[in-house]
Amino acid sequence: MNENKSQYIQKFKEQECCVLIPTYNNIDTISQVIADVLEYCDDVYVINDGSTDNTLAEIEKHSEKIKLISYQENKGKGNALILGFRQAYKDGFKYAITIDSDGQHYASDLPNFSKELEKEKNAVIIGSRQLNEKDISSGSSFANKFSNFWFKVETGITMQDTQSGYRLYPLEPISKMKFFTKKYEFEIEIIVRLSWRACKIVGVPIDVFYPSKEERVSHFRPFKDFFRISVLNTVLVFLAFLYFLPRNIVRKYKKKKIKDIIREDILGKGTPKHIIAISIGFGIFMGIVPIWGYQLVVGFLLAHYFKLNKSIFFLFANISLPPMIPVILYLSYVLGGFLLGNGTWSISMSEISFENMNFWQYVVGSVALAIIAGFAFGIVSYLLLLMFKKNK
């Protein structure tokens, strides 16, 4: 073992990082993969996922240097990784690198992950393969592009290689998660859901060995696995658009202080006056319109589509905060009464409870109030901006 390799054994210990090798029927390659990895890291977990050949016997040749997790029934790569993550976290590790046991990954790329970990402490680091090589199959290239596309739809993140099994994971967020899948598609689910938990997803370049078609060992079942991946992507897209992407957008804008929005977005020189005024009016409209729980979600999507200022929209959409809610409910109900022909100002708040109120009167009045208030705030804002510029 040369000095360059041995220094990473200590480095990985300092980083509290181990290596996981899931395997199923890789009798021809598993022993060499383990030996190569041990040259860089001596905290290695091998998970035997119910191999039916002599893979286990090959693993046991290294039994004194590795930690073995083995079971008789094949349950899938995802299940193997989950067991490895749990055991590594229980043993005190903060990070785990996963490497496939079919010999396509090079242990010599492990230092790339260590170096990237120095810069990114809360990230999934994915080994990005060079997929333009002549010896990669057209099917593998298509599958990766397919996966990359849906990953971007679900997270907004562009990645070169979302199918690579050579990855570094932070174990602390994983320890709090329960997963839908336990087979091949698990590696898609975990990076999407970790990105939703504010983990960065970054790539590092790696080399890869593509054996000839006759020598390749693949456990991918085209119809079954592709079907499960499609179902998973359907679920993830639904969850992303319904909750996670809007939530992350809201969190992003919540970090901006009100004074910063006023100084930078409203009074600054970057945003045209008419866009500021429309953004204010639209924020007021969406803050009042009766789609409780979805005002910000729908509003952000429309603000993005119409190229409005989303920071300004977010600030004024919060007109429906608790202190203003009774006022908005009262004015909506009163205005709805006048529009439906039974208007009166003499309404007590007890009449506007969900048990007693006329629902359609509230809806009609609320939409009308949202339109009137939105236009009013937009016009007044535009006039004030003109006056401010003139005085300035």
- Pair 265, 225 in one domain: no
- Same domain for 262 and 222: no
Which domain CATH number covers 118?
3.90.550.10
Quick one: 234 and 280 in the same domain? no
Question: What letters, b where the CB count within 10 A reaches 16 and e where it falls short, cover 124-152?
Answer: bbbbbbebeeeeeeeeeeebbebbbebbe
Residue in the structure block whose two tokens are 């990954």:
105
Same domain, yes or no, for 229 and 368?
no
Among residues 63, 16, 24, 73, the alpha carbon closest in space to that of 41 is found at: 16
Residue 134 has a pLDDT of: 47
Q: What is the pLDDT of residue 255?
A: 67
Choosing from 202, 217, 247, the residue where a domain stops is 247
Q: What is the pTM of this model?
A: 0.69
Residue-wise pLDDT tens for the chain (392 aa)? 445 777 899 999 999 999 999 999 999 999 999 999 999 999 999 999 999 999 999 999 999 999 999 999 999 999 999 999 999 999 999 999 999 999 999 999 999 999 999 999 999 999 998 765 545 555 566 777 888 888 988 888 889 889 899 999 999 999 999 999 998 899 999 999 999 998 999 999 999 886 655 455 555 555 566 778 888 888 888 888 777 777 776 676 666 676 776 776 676 667 788 999 999 999 999 999 988 767 877 888 788 788 888 888 888 888 877 678 888 888 888 898 889 888 788 777 666 666 666 788 888 999 999 999 999 999 999 998 888 765 55
Residue after which a domain boundary falls, among 226, 247, 268: 247
Q: Contact at 8 Å (CB) between 43 and 21?
A: no
- Non-local CB neighbours of 214 within 8 Å, separated by 6+ positions: none
pLDDT at 1: 45
Same domain, 219 and 128: yes
Shared-domain flag, residues 11 and 79: yes
Q: Which of 200, 217, 247 is the last residue of a domain?
A: 247
Same domain, residue pair 291 and 209: no
- The pLDDT assigned to 209 comes to 81
Q: What is the domain range of residue 340?
A: 256-391
Query: What pLDDT score was predicted for residue 113?
Result: 97
Residues 226 and 268 in one domain: no
| Same structural domain, 301 and 383 | yes
Pairing state between β 200-205 and 123-128: parallel
372 plus 299 within the same structural domain = yes
pLDDT at 360: 86
Count of domains observed in the chain: 2
Could you tell me if 80 and 217 lie in one domain?
yes
Same domain, 235 and 116: yes
Q: Put the strands of the sheet holding 123-128 in their side by side order.
A: 67-71, 44-49, 17-23, 95-98, 167-170, 123-128, 200-205
